[in-house]
Each structure stands twice: as C-alpha cells, then as structure tokens.
Structure 1
Amino acid sequence: MAHIDYYFSTLSPYAYLAGAGLEEIAARHGASLSYKPLDIMALFARTGGAAPADRHPIRTAYRNQELPRQAKKRGMALTLKPAFWPTNPAPSSYAIIAAQAAGGGDLGGLVQSILRACWAEERNIAEDEVIRDCLERAGFDPALADKGLLSGAETYAANLEEAVAAGVFGAPFYVVDSGQSFWGQDRLEDLDLHLAGKL
C-alpha cells in the first residue's frame, strides 16, 4: 500500500483549490496519508522561493489571473484578496497536528474547512473561534485548539525540516514513498496515474 506525505500551508490558495482531490485519490488506491502543515514562508526562504509580497509584479499579475481560472474550473468560490491574508498560520496548523494525533474525525475535511474559511469565507484562521468551528465541523473536539501546543509547535518545525530534506519547495506538495513527488493541485491527476501504475 502506498503512503503519501502531504506538505501544505493553511495559507496556500493552491492547497485550497486541491479540494478533496487528494483524499479521493488516496481512497481509490488504498493509500495512507500523513498531513504535514508547515511554514511556507520559511520554506520559500530555504529553497530559493520568494514570498508573494516580494515577487515581481509580472508573476503577481499572472497569479491574479490564474487563481480565479482554477477556481472556476473546479466550481469553487474564491476571494482573490482575502480580508485576513496573510495571517498567522501556526494556530490552524497546530490544530491539524493535534487532530491527526487524536484521530476520530475527518482530517481531510478539517484541512479543507480551514482553507475554505480563509479563501472563500473571509474568516481569520488565526482566531480560536474559527479554528474551533472548523474542528467541530470535521467531527473533532473543538478543545483540540488549546491542546498540545508545545508538541504542535515542535511537529510544525519538524515538518519544515522534513520537507526540505524531501525536496519540497512549495505547496501543496505530495511525496509518495515510491520516491516520486508532485507539486501543485494541478498535478493531482499525475499522482492518480502514478498510483495506478500508469505514470
């Protein structure tokens, strides 16, 4: 059975646009998943990328065209410039880490709910109230927002180190235990074909 390490940021619009695609692919192929939220700005700094605010205006202009196109293709609501972006991604990431450790809910649903809160619902994913709501919607104890903060911080930092060691440089990034990696929500089809043995 294949295993996929999923590296992502709760600030990433492209992780949002992935929707439930990863979970559907994993279920289809019986693959297991590990969710690894990380500090995307630190990842960019470590791997030669640039934060959105530091990118050349030409790249920003293209991003501003591409994101709405991709959202339209997927039938997803998208606010191109959310009211609460960028915000502190650590609290929502810690909640995902705590939920993964606790089990019992829909982890993919939690990740999607947090991303949707940022990119479609104009909510601040750094706020406890928003995180608790997302946890509850996904079938987790809302109190997880307050638990395991120290271990969450340690895992969050470790995820960054693991990502760099695995050759990750953006989000979403899917690393299969076969040694193959796939960057971006637009490579989910390739991941699917790879797991089917066709690519």
Structure 2
Amino acid sequence: MADIDYFFATLSPYSYLAGTRLEEFAAKHGATIAYKPVDIVALFGRTGGTPPKDRHISRIEYRAQELVRQAKKLGMKLNLQPAHWPTNAAPSSYAIIAAIRDGSGDVGQLCHSILRACWAEEKDIAEDAVIRECLEKAGFDPGLADSGLLVGAETYAANLEEAVDRGVFGAPFYITSDGQRFWGQDRLDDLDAHLAEIRG
C-alpha cells in the first residue's frame, strides 16, 4: 500500500495548482505515492457535488476569484477560461494509467505536464499529439498514448469506485496510509505536517 493515495482529475484547476508540491513532500518524508486519476464530473454526481457550470452564480464568481488568488500566491500561470476546457479527460487519464504500469518515467512530472498543458498552455489534453508530448517530456514512450486503452478504461472506472468508497468527493484529494484525508491543494502543508508526524 502506498503512503499517499492521490486522487486527482486532469481537468481540475486545483489539481494543477498543486504543482509538484506533493512529490516534493513525499521525497522529503520518503513516502510513496499511488496516482489515481478519476472522472471528476462522475465523482461529483456520486458524492453530492455540482459541476462548476451548474453552480449558483455566487459560487461561480467566488471560484473565479479564488483561482486567480491562488495562482498568484503560488507564482503559477493560469488561464481562467482555457481554450480547451472542458474537454474529454479520458485519453489523458488512460495515458497516465499506462505510464504508471510502464514505470519507466516520472509519473508526477507527467501529471503536472498534462495539467499545465490545459491550464497554462492553451492545449487540448484530449488530443493525441498533446498527450504524446507530455509522455515524452516525462521520460515515457509516447506510444503509451495508443496502448492499454482497455486496461486504462477499467482502471479509470475502478478508481472512481474506490474514490467513492473511501470518502473522496473532489480533487485533488490525498489519503494517507493511516486513513487521514486531505482535500484541496491548499491542504498540502497540512499533509506535509502529518507525514512528518507519522514517519517520525
């Protein structure tokens, strides 16, 4: 079992704003990460959430302000209304799952590269060329974009069921090996402190 089960969505701006801090904290504490991409819209539907476009205007407006504030605080470029969002998250998620199984590159870098492509580089992460570029940048064979579609679909669906069963309701979401749950990129410092406690 991994020290941290990381549930995220390749369409989530908050997963993007998490940056590489999870990987940095895991390295600091010698912790392992299990990457679990999920269908965030389906997760909302299963856990009482509402997709952004269907929320009350007050929530939509607040989200827009908060995303800008968080990006500025973190020094990260963010397109509040990306040219290719929403798009089909399945192809990028399947590629991540294939990369996890392959194990030859840097999964954390791949995840952030895909998220950055959507939220900072105005690229469509459903496009094969974009996914291939992200795979190659992270040290994987770009051909993984074409392989393992059936396994990818099965794992993607299984990740959703696991997320629902374990109390996940948004992204990014982190669960430690002792069952502590942390929701949101703004809780990464709390996760860091908890890892320090449990790993001594």
Question: What TM-score does the superposition give when structure 1 sets the normalisation length?
Answer: 0.98
Question: What does residue range 92-171 of structure 1 map to in structure 2 within 5 Å?
Answer: 92-171=92-171
Give the AA of the match of 2:195: L
Give the AA of the match of 2:69: R
Aligned to 1:33: 33
Give the AA of the match of 1:158: A
Give the AA of the match of 1:135: L
Give the number of equivalent residue pairs.
198
Residue 104 of structure 1: CA displacement?
A: 1.3
Q: Assess if the C-alpha contact under 8 Å between 2:2 and 2:34 holds in 1.
A: no
Q: Assess if the C-alpha contact under 8 Å between 1:6 and 1:34 holds in 2.
A: yes
1:84-106 Cα offsets, whole Å, 9 max, x none, are: 00000000000000000001111
Unpaired segments ≥5 residues, structure 2: none
- Over 3 Å counting, the alpha-carbon distance change for 1:129 and 1:167 in structure 2 is same
1:133-188 Cα offsets, whole Å, 9 max, x none, are: 00000000000000000000000000000000110000000011111000000000
- Over 3 Å counting, the alpha-carbon distance change for 1:19 and 1:60 in structure 2 is same
CA–CA distance in structure 2, aligned partners of residues 155 and 179 of structure 1: 22
CA–CA distance in structure 2, aligned partners of residues 146 and 42 of structure 1: 24
CA–CA distance in structure 1, aligned partners of residues 166 and 28 of structure 2: 25
- Over 3 Å counting, the alpha-carbon distance change for 1:39 and 1:2 in structure 2 is closer
Residue 2 of structure 1: CA displacement?
A: 6.4
Structure 1 residue runs of 4 or more that deviate by more than 6 Å after TM superposition: none
Give the AA of the match of 2:131: I
Question: What does residue range 1-199 of structure 1 map to in structure 2 within 5 Å?
Answer: 3-197=3-197
| SS class of match (2:35) | strand
Structure 1 vs Structure 2 CA RMSD: 1.0
Unpaired segments ≥5 residues, structure 1: none
